[in-house]
Amino acid sequence: MKGSRFPGFHHLSIEERRALVSAARDLPDDVFELLRDGGLTVERADQLIENVVATFAFPLSIATNFVINGEDRLIPMCVEEPSVVAAASHAAKLARAGGGFVCEADESIMIAQIQLDEVPDAGAARVAIMARADTLLAQANARVPELAQYGGGATALRVRDLGEGMMVVHLHADCADAMGANMVNTMAEAIAPTIAGLARGTMGLRILSNLADQRLVRVRVRVPRSAIDEPLARAIVRASRFAERDPYRAATHNKGIMNGVDAVVLASGNDFRAVEAGAHAFAARGERYAPICVWRNEEDALVGSLEMPMALGTVSGFSRVHPGARFALNVAQVRGSRDLAMLCGAAGVASNLAALRALAGEGIQRGHMRLHARSVAVAAGAKEHVDAVAEVIFAEGVITLSRAREVLAELRNKND
Ligand code: MEV
């Protein structure tokens, strides 16, 4: 099975799911062995950060049904919140009926900022810096020669006057398949003293901006009437309008998008704090904080569009050393950072659609409580009776640990 439509996947055992996924993507037989206990050994973790005492595992799931730019893709998601993966898979099935997600990603341009202070004449500083732009870009590129091998490199300088004698120079650099934080920080540090001299000011901070608005991903989806009827589509559009008019709602709307985005970002070993920071700064770029995905009703379909920064790498640091991240990149057959950005964007749109569909319809609590009942059954020690205990406490509406323990004891007595 080479596609992403795995009907009944959630009913299979873990072993059966593993077998299906490895066969579908030609993964080596021992791939899940390497992921035992979360994949990252404590010794390896100790080499990565400071003061390590243990590692901390998250569930890693596969979302199904995704069609992205006409191609079936499996989406790895690392997330602790029940229903996120099921909801994204279900929304992807609705989207599939309209051809799936149409995605595009900008070139991998990161921005590094060089702050200048006490600049006596902003106009003169701008002219002096821009007159030397080519030399400064060459100087930046000379510090990170390996980037040119991957088709990247510093591409442009932009000068902004912030007032009060403060200016900032933006260095744009194409980071190819790297997230690029280290590379652009190195470049910024290399050219900052020359730039401060040209501006006749003092040198301030030299650091990337997480508002990666030169590295956007755009996703569009058409959900046909056969998958969502007119009244529900209209209610979803009103939910979108609510978020567009009210920052309190927009924050929660965007959180629902980030449920999908972050899960893929984390699975791929990328910096989810950077993506979060970029998403919310981008959401706040207009007059007020706004949704990063909006929905409109067309004659025959509900149409969603997302635009957001997505600064990701597929070749750097953690993605390479964490077996879970390597697995995630392989299972999704990721072809580079722009491709990964599109998968993350599509997962975000799917999560948003699923949340709005539930909220505009019967509400989310029923589905959540069913999954919550499962967690309570697990916490009660149900093991082989998880589904049966969860079913009873959900049906009774008494989803407590004590009731789950009673039901478990009754079931065990009955089976003895
Ligand atoms: C919960 O994790 C996410 C939602 O609150 C998103 C939303 O309200 O759109 C359901």
Average pLDDT by stretches of 10, the chain with 416 residues: 87 94 91 89 93 96 98 98 95 98 98 98 98 98 93 97 98 97 97 98 98 98 97 97 98 98 97 98 97 97 98 88 94 97 98 96 79 90 92 93 95 86
Which residue among 118, 161, 276, 368 is the active-site one? 368
Identify the residue whose C-alpha is closest to ligand 1 atom 1.
256
Residue range of the domain that includes 203? 109-208
Does residue 114 lie in a domain region?
yes
* In a shared domain, residues 93 and 221: yes
User: Whose CA is closest to 279, among 334, 215, 236?
Assistant: 215
pLDDT value for 369? 85
Does residue 96 lie in a domain region?
yes
Does residue 318 lie in a domain region?
yes
* In a shared domain, residues 152 and 134: yes
Beta strands in 119-187 (DSSP E): 153-163, 166-174
Beta strands in 79-200 (DSSP E): 101-105, 109-117, 153-163, 166-174
* In a shared domain, residues 175 and 306: no
Which residues are paired to 207 by β-bridges? 113
Which residue among 72, 262, 271, 339 is the active-site one? 271
Confirm whether 81 is a catalytic residue.
yes
Does residue 294 lie in a domain region?
yes
**Nearest ligand 1 atom, CA 81:** 2
pLDDT value for 365? 78
Does residue 308 lie in a domain region?
yes
pLDDT value for 37? 79
Domain end (from 152, 182, 208): 208
Q: How far is the CA of 299 from the centre of ligand 1 (A)?
A: 27
pLDDT value for 1? 53
3-class SS of residue 65: strand
User: Whose CA is closest to 412, among 385, 381, 376, 372?
Assistant: 385
* In a shared domain, residues 68 and 177: no
Tokens 């400071």 label which residue?
50
Confirm whether 368 is a catalytic residue.
yes
Q: How far is the CA of 252 from the centre of ligand 1 (A)?
A: 6
* In a shared domain, residues 144 and 199: yes
Query: Is there a contact between 267 and 78 (Cβ–Cβ < 8 Å)?
Result: yes
**Nearest ligand 1 atom, CA 259:** 2
Instruction: Give the other-Cβ count within 10 Å of 267's Cβ.
Output: 28
Return the CATH number at 230: 3.90.770.10
d(CA 299, CA 232): 14
* In a shared domain, residues 138 and 225: no
Counting Cβ atoms within 10 Å, is residue 99 exposed (0-12), middle (13-18) or buried (19+)?
A: middle
Identify the residue whose C-alpha is closest to ligand 1 atom 4.
256
**Nearest ligand 1 atom, CA 364:** 10
* In a shared domain, residues 246 and 315: yes
* In a shared domain, residues 298 and 388: no
Pocket of ligand 1 (CB under 6 A): 81, 252-253, 255-256, 259, 355-356, 359, 364
Does residue 49 lie in a domain region?
no
pLDDT value for 347? 98
Q: How far is the CA of 248 from the centre of ligand 1 (A)?
A: 12
Q: How far is the CA of 44 from the centre of ligand 1 (A)?
A: 35
Tokens 């998968």 label which residue?
343
pTM here is: 0.91
Identify the residue whose C-alpha is closest to ligand 1 atom 10.
355
Does residue 23 lie in a domain region?
no
Q: How many domains does the chain have?
A: 3
* In a shared domain, residues 96 and 124: no
Tokens 């722009």 label which residue?
338
Domain end (from 144, 175, 208): 208
Does residue 4 lie in a domain region?
no
Which residue among 106, 117, 246, 255 is the active-site one? 255
Instruction: Give the other-Cβ count within 10 Å of 76's Cβ.
Output: 26
Which residue among 33, 71, 81, 387 is the active-site one? 81
d(CA 100, CA 299): 18
Domain end (from 191, 208, 225): 208
* In a shared domain, residues 165 and 308: no
* In a shared domain, residues 126 and 236: no
Exposure pattern of 54-66 as b/e (b: 16+ CB <10 Å)? Answer: eeeeeebbbbbbb
Which of 80, 252, 365, 372 to probe ligand 1 with, by most ligand atoms within 8 A of CB?
A: 252
**Nearest ligand 1 atom, CA 256:** 6
